[in-house]
A and B are shown apart, each in its own frame.
Chain A
Amino acid sequence: MKTVEEIRAAIEAALPGAGVEIVSNPSVSGQHSLRLRPSHAVAVAKFLRDDAELALDFLSNATGVDWPDKEVTEKVKVTRTVRKTVDGVEQDAEETVEEARKRVEPGCLEAVYHLFSVARGHGPVVIRMKTVNRTDQVELPSLTPVWRSAEFQEREIFDLYGIVFSGHPDLRRLLMWEGFKDHPMRRDYVEPDDFEYEPTAHDEVLKRAVAHQAKQEAAGTVAGAAGVGSGVAAGREGKGAGA
């Protein structure tokens, strides 16, 4: 099979200006990938599928990855002019100081596709696409028109990660129900406060009960809080009585 460099060269020869980047994988698996520009992705995908030598007719796996905003602290050398008194004479002197600067690296959502060739028996070739950010510019082109197997998998990515695939024939949530708001596979997803009264609350449930109670009290709905509180207390008493 061709290496990623050769595949990139073949794509560039067929589709000049496609702008495919190689993303190297430092793991021992050696599965390097190609990052496509969303604007050229469908054309490149069609080329990969229809090229006689590559013949990547089988899209096996499509999935999302979440890369949240990252705060990076880096040391920067700054040169500045300082007035100094050297041997009794005041003069300007240059000085290099190391400064720690904090910078927020913007996050993104990524869609990763694993391609194989049934006709030629090779693979995997990994292609990936990145959204601009994680909030409002989360659109990527759908590869379902090229490979039908992306249909449910892209729906799943849309559901769990919130990437919007333009050109998908039937983009709805797959696993969560209609009307569900959040995207559970994102790394900053917060579980909803779904505590319900349990007669024998314990461990995790007890923690959730306390959190729920605090939230209720903060919101000022005391009636609900009292009910939960007595429930938790009853659970404890029950335990004590049993022992």
Chain B
Amino acid sequence: MSTSGFVAEKDKREGWNRPPVIEPDGEGELLEVSMGPHHPSTHGVFRMDVALDGERVIRLKPVFGYLHRNHEKIAEGISYLGSMPFTDRLDYLCPLTNNWAYALAVEKLTGQAVPERAEYLRVIVGELTRVQNHASSIGFLIQEMGASGTPLMYAFKAREKILDLFEELTGARMMCNYMRFGGCRVDATADWLAVTRKVVEELPGFVDEFERLLRGNEILMARTQGVGILRPELAVNAGVTGPMLRASGVNYDIRKVDGYGVYNRFKFRVPLGDHWDVFDRFMIRLLEMRESIKILEQALKDIPGGPVMDAKAKLRGFRPKPGEAYGRIESPKGELGFYLISDGGPNPYRYRVRPPSLINLTVLEDMALGQNVADVVLIFGSVDIILGEVDR
């Protein structure tokens, strides 16, 4: 599509970006259902107030806050370093990319350099995170379709191998607390790199198997194709990012646009969707896993020697100059950003997480209106959220 497609919507009247109004067919009464907060498909505690006309969704209002702990307020009361382990708990499927986004924002605020080996290690753990996140996200999506357990366990087979790598490198499977301002906490040993190469060698086979099992499945195609369509203009206007945005056919990958870290050294493609539906979101995640494997192969081949922490880096007791910075990365869920204001003190004056999961849910109502209630579960699953990040 042309790039001017989502710039100016001058021919459209005001309010074009609001959810459509669906009229009930007039037969029978509307049924108001509160889906959640403990619905199995919500992966946590999330509620949707849904009004149904028969099977059709007439209104849908998400309700947040069940997991709210005011992460931002806590972070404003502790040192910069003190928030690093807390970022793991935002999106517990991708702790390492959360670490990375926060480290990047602080490095922007202080002008801290990062040694090359640390940048490569960040790319390696970041892409491994993406592979396991996408695999489990697809697994959960299939599970919501009614295929209880089996596909999810296939996804977890690959995920477990990757989590074992994380455990060996950082000491924890999910609460890694691995990155620091100016590098990484520990260096990877030659053994670890060798084992990682072996795991990465096996990954394409896993993706092939996963794809063969799922892609041609008639039920999956019938349930997902043409369901939950999100137009590209609306996706951009509503701030949707990550695989969801690319499934709507918009070529925007922050790894390419910003080229943060050392991403501009690697060759990889950005897969784009053509039909903007749930099936495309599922396929984009599969294709992105393949691209991540390509990046992993290149990074594991080229990783240079040297230190993993900048010699001048200060972790404790540093006071950034007054000012502010916004740093962002392409996390597996979308654009994860951190906005920091320093007043010259040891704690951030303002600490803000830009949560991709929350902002991607802005369009949930638009995608679900007029669809069947059973499809709402799939549409919701295709957004791929983690409630720890939505509610913070």
Whether B322 lies near A27 (C-beta < 8 A) is yes
Please state if A149 and B320 are interface contacts (CB–CB under 8 Å). Answer: no
Assess whether A4 is interfacial by the CB under 8 Å rule: no
Q: How far is B325's CA from A151's CA once the two chains are assembled, in angstroms? A: 23
On whether the beta carbons of A148 and B362 are closer than 8 Å, the reply is yes
Q: Take A57-B6, A119-B4 as given contacts and tell me if A27 and B237 are in contact as well, using a CB distance cutoff of 8 Å.
A: no
8 Å CB contact of A26 from B64, B68, B321, B392: B321
A65 to B72, CA, bound (A): 12
On whether A61 and B354 interact (CB within 8 A), knowing A55-B7, A119-B4, A148-B234, the answer reads yes
Proximity bits, A141-157, B CB within 8 Å = 1, else 0? 00001011111110000
Q: Which residue of B lies closest to A185 (CB)?
A: B73
How far apart sit A36 and B110, CA to CA, in the bound complex (Å)?
27
Contact between A149 and B237, CB atoms less than 8 A apart: yes
Instruction: Collect the chain A residues with CB atoms within 8 Å of residue B352's CB.
Output: 61, 63
- A59 part of interface (Cβ distance < 8 Å): yes
Interface residues on B, range: 35 or more
B59 CB to nearest chain A CB (Å): 12
Q: Which of B7, B238, B321, B363 contacts A27 (CB 8 A)?
A: B321
CA distance A177 to B47 in the complex (A): 13
The answer to whether B337 and A60 have CB atoms under 8 Å apart is: yes
- Note all chain B residues with C-beta closer than 8 A to A174: 64-65
Known: A29-B109, A50-B10, A112-B339. A119 touches B234 (CB 8 A): no
Q: Which residues of A contact B68 (CB under 8 A)?
A: 175-176
Q: Give 1 or 0 for each of A117-161: 1 = CB within 8 Å of chain B CB.
A: 011110010100000000000000000010111111100000010
Question: A147 to B335, Cβ gap below 8 A?
Answer: no
Nearest-CB residue, chain A, relative to B67: A175
A112 to B239, CA, bound (A): 16
Q: Which single member of B64, B354, B358, B392 contacts A60 (CB below 8 Å)?
A: B354
**Could you say which of A126, A149, A176 contacts B239, with CB atoms under 8 Å apart?**
A149
Q: B6: which of A27, A119, A160 is its contact (CB, 8 Å)?
A: A119
Chain A residues with CB under 8 Å of B8's CB are 49-50, 52
Contact at A114–B337, with CB atoms within 8 Å? Answer: yes
Question: Interface residue tally of chain A, by bracket?
Answer: 35 or more
- B339 & A114 in contact (Cβ 8 Å cutoff): yes
Return the CB mask of B60-96 against A: 1 if under 8 Å, else 0.
0000110010101100000000000000000000000
Nearest-CB distance from B37 to chain A (Å)?
12
Given contacts A26-B321, A145-B15, A148-B362, contact A58 B236 (CB under 8 A): yes
A71 CB to closest chain B CB, in angstroms?
15
Q: Annotate A61-87 by CB proximity to B: 1 below 8 A, 0 otherwise.
A: 101010000000000000000000000
Please tell me if the beta carbons of A152 and B358 are within 8 angstroms of each other in the complex. Answer: yes
One digit per residue, 1 when the CB lies within 8 angstroms of any chain B CB and 0 when it does not, for chain A 84-102 equals 0000000000000000000
B17 contacts the other chain (CB 8 A): yes
Which residues of the partner chain B approach A169 to less than 8 Å between Cβ atoms? 18
Among B10, B14, B109, B324, max chain A CB count under 10 A is at B324
Contacts of B14 in A (CB 8 A): 145
- Please encode chain B, from 301 to 339, with 1 for each CB lying within 8 Å of some chain A CB and 0 for all others: 000000000000000000011111110100000010101
Of A25, A50, A52, A148, the most chain B CB neighbours within 10 A belong to A148
Beta-carbon nearest neighbor of B9 in chain A? A50
Q: A28-B321, A55-B7, A177-B65 are in contact. Are A152 and B326 (CB under 8 A)?
A: no
Q: Which residues does chain B contribute within 8 Å of A148, judged by CB atoms? A: 17-18, 234, 237-239, 362-363
B391 within 8 A of A: yes
In the complex, whether B361 has a CB less than 8 A from a CB of chain A is yes
* 10 examples of A-B residue contacts, CB within 8 angstroms: A26-B323, A28-B109, A31-B325, A52-B7, A60-B335, A61-B339, A63-B339, A63-B350, A152-B361, A175-B65
Beyond the given pairs A27-B321, A27-B325, 7 more chain A to chain B contacts, judged by CB atoms under 8 angstroms and listed by A's residue number, are: A31-B324, A55-B7, A60-B354, A145-B17, A160-B70, A175-B64, A176-B68
Q: List chain B positions with a Cβ less than 8 A from chain A.
A: 3-4, 6-8, 10, 14-15, 17-18, 64-65, 68, 70, 72-73, 108-111, 234, 236-241, 250, 252, 257, 320-326, 328, 335, 337, 339, 341-342, 350, 352, 354, 358-359, 361-363, 391-392
